[in-house]
Structure 1
Amino acid sequence: MIQPDPYTPTSGSAELRVDHYDLTLDYDIYSNRLVGVAVLHGQVLTDTSTLALDLRGLKVSQVQLNGSAVRFKQTRTKLVLRSPLAAEDAVIIEVSYSGKPRVQKGPWGEVGWEELTDGVLVAGQPNGAATWFPCNDHPGNKATWRCSIEVDADYTAISNGELLHCTPGDGRAVWAWESRVPLATYLATVQIGQYRRGPLQSKTHTSARVPLRLACGDHLWRQGQNALAKQHAMLTVFEKHFGEYPFDSYGVVVTDDDLEIPLESQPLSILGPNHLGAGWNSERLIAHELAHQWFGNSVTPHQWSDIWLNEGFASYAEWLWSEASGQAEANSRADAAYEQLASMPQDIVLADPGGPEMFDDRVYLRGALTLHALRCHVGDDGFFQTLRSWTALNRHGTVSTAEFLAHAQRVTGHPAGALLRDWLFGAQLPDRP
């Protein structure tokens, strides 16, 4: 059973597992009005007289359960269906809804559906999915996905997975996307803008095995191609270290608006023009977001307390790219990170940093250093075999810190739990690896 996550206690349902989402959306960009029909296929997990879905700020007009109208009520954060159900019952829930979606403010800033100057961005992590569709918004409930979005014909609408078709008509166009591999709701996305779409080029490296694509405005096309030209080489390096890329393609959306931070989705990353610079800071962020396709998107923490399994691994990927591309070695990056951490307060426990602090810089840096400590102790062969087998065994699944420690010990023969105890479960910074 999926238990409520203590970091996002008002999100998620313990009574339902969703296995598939099918969304049909009609969006007017000028009025920010969204009309949607969401069909959820799932299974009831316990005997219950109600089922609760997450939904914020949108008005529901009708709900059907297994083809019949069902009574429901809405609270500020939930859509509650009233019907007696038994454990293991299969359910198909169809929700018709509409409204003007907006971001949700919380400890992590603004998340969810956000209007841009000329378009839309969705930033779902950790609990923003409910701002635009009814869902079980819990990282442990991954589901397959289909999303059809109708927009004005001069706009591009991008969602998760692969494009099935784009059908124009009467000044509008329908963009239909599908992900046959499951995704967590925080990775579900819609990106809308006057975007040009096409392959990412590489001037210095053989094209990657996986199709790489770019979407951005015409005025950013050349800058985006130049800034992202190393993605082919990055993917090759990461496949060597992490194992086969877990999806059919990879895309990058560059919005017209500057963004505070890049965003990961599945199998997408979303950058702002301010992330297309020529220096290391932009390059490391580009590598970081690509690495999330393995760590976070394919292999997903079951609960948010294990966020270091996302951010620590993606941060360490920055250092791996640095040394593979002839820049600073991982040891040098680790030394700099250690000095930075040593100057910060020592009051975060990496394996349970607390909800408000889960995206703190210290989680990223200490997570990367934890992996570096493991690498230094077991050697490169054992370390990278641990990473490759971890992503293979847990492909498209959910995981925990305890499972990673047990896995590392099985693969390397070293007591990973004892080795990393102070890094993961203590607040004080351990000795430099």
Structure 2
Amino acid sequence: MDQRLPVRGTARGPRGAGAAALLLALVVLAAGCTAGTGGVEGKPGAAGVRDPYFPRLGNGGYDVTHYDLTLDVDPDEQTLRGTAEITARATQDLSSFNLDLAGLTVESATVEGRPAAVNRAGNELTLRTDAKVEDRLHEGETFRTVVRYSGSPKTLTDADDSEEGWLPTDDGAVALGEPTGSMAWFPGNHHPGDKASYDLTVTVPKGLTAVSNGVPAGPPVTAGDRTTYRWHTAEPMASYVATLAVGRFTTKTSTMAGGITVFTAVDPESAKASARTVARVPEVVEWEAGHFGPYPFSATGAIVERTGDSGYALETQNRPFFPGPPSMELLVHEMAHQWFGDSVTPATWRDMWLNEGLATYTEWLWAEEKEDTPAQESFDEAYEDEDNWAFPPADPPSAADISEQPVYGRGAMVIHKIREAVDDDEEFFALLAGWAKAHRHGNATTADFTAYVEKATGEDLSELWKDWLYGESRPAADG
């Protein structure tokens, strides 16, 4: 995301499953204790993964490997009908497990082709899988869950009044997911720690286009007054950077060096003002690859909606989303997230500064190399900005603060201090590329990053971390 647009806040964590889910868990656990089984055969998966800011977000007991989503969208009524086929691997013996879903109505669910009992408490679906002992899911087992659902997707409002989830537009809608909005349009394990590949099949009224992540999986097919689009994302993706944009778009497909597909979709009202910047997508990708290592995905591009369709840009995987014509600074920032955030994804929402600090520092590098503005000048400007000193970037005080200014500006200052400590640009850029390579398509914590930097540099940087990453007060600029 970009801090120069209205700064994103965050929604409060989804409500817990409550007393009803607790009662269900106790019943399921008791049901697992059957004569002749030698004790409990499976236990419920956790209803959250204990994220520091969203403890009920995500689910335990399984790891999703693939989502196959089939959606039929009616933009006039702002409704959808969906089928989610979720392939996952059990990480424990399971008697039940949870999915995150906000608002939509579940019509049916199956696990391995067998009907599953579904209990709902707020944003938590609990699917019971152990009607018979022989039907229970065992640790290491790969299983397929199919959920059919429908309704009017919700727009979720964050603590700072910014909106995510399903955002209606004048000619359709756009789905944006950071940090919790993806649960507004499909059920899943909606924590960044569980990444998966995706297939998306979307049917919309003829004349509209449905754009998502990845690459087109064949040409659009029109039958009567409806057109179906198919998208495939092969590389692992966190659900918060999954997107769907439905509307009238001017689209363009090309191929850049390395065989990377470039797909752009621009609302006609934004086409003229954004043409020059959007045309530079391959240039920005190649420039960033020169600093951070090979581009981590098979596709790139951009989605440009009308001004005001969202209050912020977002690093949706493969093609960032922009609410109106983007500046070069904003394009550089969101493209940097393809390495830092989309490929190397934070293990928890406390690690958000790893995304935003590195993406903001990429803006400083672009200004240094393309606009003759030394990164030191950008650092000095950020240092004098009082907003950057509200709290340490690695320890925001609450969920409402994970997208506030210190995460961006002070996060970038941390990176600049590492550059000063290395004192050799060739080694510094090798360090950044090495970080992107070490955790490519994975997840990482702040502790992973600080340990990596110290190992790569051979330096004890504990004072740097104490003052710039975790310190409550403003250190001396040359400290």
Map of 2:247 onto structure 1: 193
SS at match of 1:348: coil
SS at match of 1:121: strand
Map of 2:409 onto structure 1: 365
Q: What displacement does 1:224 show?
A: 1.9
**What TM-score comes out, normalization by structure 1 length?**
0.93
Q: Which residue of the other structure, out of 101, 112, 116, is the alignment partner of 2:165?
A: 112
Q: Are residue 213 (structure 1) and residue 213 (structure 2) matched?
A: no
Write the deviation string for residues 367-418 of structure 1: whole angstroms up to 9, x where unpaired.
0000000001112122111100111111100001111111112222122344
Q: Are residue 39 (structure 1) and residue 85 (structure 2) matched?
A: yes
Q: Which residue of the other structure, out of 95, 101, 105, is the alignment partner of 2:153?
A: 101
Q: Which has the larger radius of gyration?
A: 2
Map of 2:286 onto structure 1: 236
Structure 1, unpaired ranges of 5+: 202-206, 277-281
Map of 1:256 onto structure 2: 306
SS at match of 1:307: helix
Compare 315-324 and 224-233 and name the one that shifted more. 224-233
Could you tell me how far apart the structure 1 residues matched to 2:279 and 2:69 are? 34
Q: What displacement does 1:88 show?
A: 2.5
Amino acid across the alignment from 1:164: A
SS at match of 1:268: coil
Q: Are residue 375 (structure 1) and residue 419 (structure 2) matched?
A: yes
Give the number of equivalent residue pairs.
420
Q: Which residue of the other structure, out of 319, 327, 338, is the alignment partner of 1:268?
A: 319
Map of 1:71 onto structure 2: 117
Could you tell me how far apart the structure 2 residues matched to 1:145 and 1:345 are? 37
Q: Are residues 153 and 349 of structure 1, via their aligned partners in 2, closer, same or farther at CA, if it must alter by over 3 Å?
A: same
Q: Are residues 262 and 215 of structure 1, via their aligned partners in 2, closer, same or farther at CA, if it must alter by over 3 Å?
A: same
Q: Are residue 13 (structure 1) and residue 59 (structure 2) matched?
A: yes
Map of 1:415 onto structure 2: 460
- Equivalence map 1:274-293=2 (5 Å): 275-276=325-326, 282-293=327-338
Q: CA RMSD in A?
A: 1.8
Q: Which residue of the other structure, out of 426, 429, 432, is the alignment partner of 1:387?
A: 432
Compare 255-264 and 173-182 and name the one that shifted more. 255-264
Structure 2, unpaired ranges of 5+: 1-45, 131-136
- Equivalence map 1:300-319=2 (5 Å): 300-319=345-364
Q: Are residue 180 (structure 1) and residue 230 (structure 2) matched?
A: no
Q: What displacement does 1:200 show?
A: 7.6
SS at match of 1:245: coil
Contact 2:388 2:409 in 1 (8 A): no
Could you tell me how far apart the structure 1 residues matched to 2:209 and 2:49 are? 37
Write the deviation string for residues 232-270 of structure 1: whole angstroms up to 9, x where unpaired.
332222111111111112111111242322111111111
Q: Which residue of the other structure, out of 388, 392, 396, is the alignment partner of 1:349?
A: 392
Could you tell me how far apart the structure 2 residues matched to 1:302 and 1:101 are? 27
Write the deviation string for residues 157-191 of structure 1: whole angstroms up to 9, x where unpaired.
01111111211111211111011111001011101
SS at match of 1:138: coil
SS at match of 1:344: helix
Q: Are residues 127 and 219 of structure 1, via their aligned partners in 2, closer, same or farther at CA, if it must alter by over 3 Å?
A: closer
Q: Which residue of the other structure, out of 139, 144, 153, is the alignment partner of 1:87?
A: 139
Report % sequence identity: 34
Contact 1:234 1:321 in 2 (8 A): no
Contact 2:382 2:388 in 1 (8 A): no
Contact 1:74 1:80 in 2 (8 A): yes
Q: Are residues 200 and 317 of structure 1, via their aligned partners in 2, closer, same or farther at CA, if it must alter by over 3 Å?
A: farther
Amino acid across the alignment from 1:170: G
